[in-house]
Chain A
Amino acid sequence: GAGVSQSPSNKVTEKGKDVELRCDPISGHTALYWYRQSLGQGLEFLIYFQGNSAPDKSGLPSDRFSAERTGGSVSTLTIQRTQQEDSAVYLCASSWGQGWADTQYFGPGTRLTVL
């Protein structure tokens, strides 16, 4: 597609369940980023990928969060044993991967609600 796509757009889950959020970046973009945006808040960096590797995982809030990227394209963010404080919008972005000056292009986000 033309832009970054994310699925599902909305996810409601029960506390303690695992969830998987998917991001499909813009074709040709080698860098991919995950952010979390809590209600009315700014963007919290979670992780980024250059190709399939994730050199910076410093933003992952806990070991319940993990992410992978395969084939240099689609990425999956997994949250295990979800907690109510995980409720947020999870945003994915991609860029050409040319370095720190990249412009990031964002997807529509996945709104996660943990009951």
Chain B
Amino acid sequence: AQKVTQAQTEISVVEKEDVTLDCVYETRDTTYYLFWYKQPPSGELVFLIRRNSFDEQNEISGRYSWNFQKSTSSFNFTITASQVVDSAVYFCALSDSSTGGFKTIFGAGTRLFVKA
């Protein structure tokens, strides 16, 4: 069965600290996609990244970086030099061919508080 686990329910950091959000997934498929979404207080989920299972290269986008490790089934997300505007709930998600074609499985989310 497919599963996404975000073990950290809430994280609180002080501005300019680095913070890593953990995501562990389970799937029997060898081909799958992983996603991260951000949900700010306004409520609208914002797409951050999509990564396919064949591409284990780490990705960096500004202050954001993602570490994909198939060996540990993890797709962790790091924010460098956090800012108050990073405060949000972050969701990791998985989609594979066994989910019926269009169902994406979301983790429970990690709420990040960045204090000034």
Question: Chain A interface (Cβ within 8 Å of chain B)?
Answer: 31, 33, 41-43, 45, 48, 50, 55-56, 58, 89, 91, 93, 95, 99-109, 111
Contact = CB atoms under 8 A, between A and B. Distances in A.
Interface string B86-116: 0000010001110111111111110000000
6 contacts: A42-B108, A56-B103, A100-B95, A103-B35, A104-B104, A108-B43
Contacts of A109: 43-44
Nearest to B6: A42
A43 B106 contact: yes
Residue of A91, A104, A105, A108 most packed against chain B (CB within 10 A): A104
Interface stretch (B18-26, B45-53, B64-72, B73-81): B45-53
A78 B109 CA distance: 27
Given A42-B91, A42-B109, A31 B102 contact: yes
Nearest to A45: B103
A102 B47 CA distance: 12
Given A42-B109, A89-B43, A100-B95, A55 B101 contact: yes
A106 B91 contact: no
Contacts of B97: 100
A9 to B, nearest CB: 9
A43 B91 contact: yes
Given A106-B44, A107-B44, A100 B99 contact: yes
B42 interface: yes
Given A42-B91, A42-B109, A108-B42, A99 B47 contact: no
B102 A50 contact: yes
Contacts of B33: 100-101
Nearest to A99: B101
Given A42-B91, A103-B50, A105-B47, A33 B102 contact: yes
A21 to B, nearest CB: 14
Given A48-B103, A56-B100, 20 more contacts: A33-B104, A42-B107, A42-B108, A42-B109, A43-B91, A43-B106, A45-B103, A45-B105, A50-B102, A58-B100, A91-B45, A95-B102, A100-B33, A100-B100, A100-B103, A101-B33, A101-B52, A104-B104, A105-B47, A106-B44
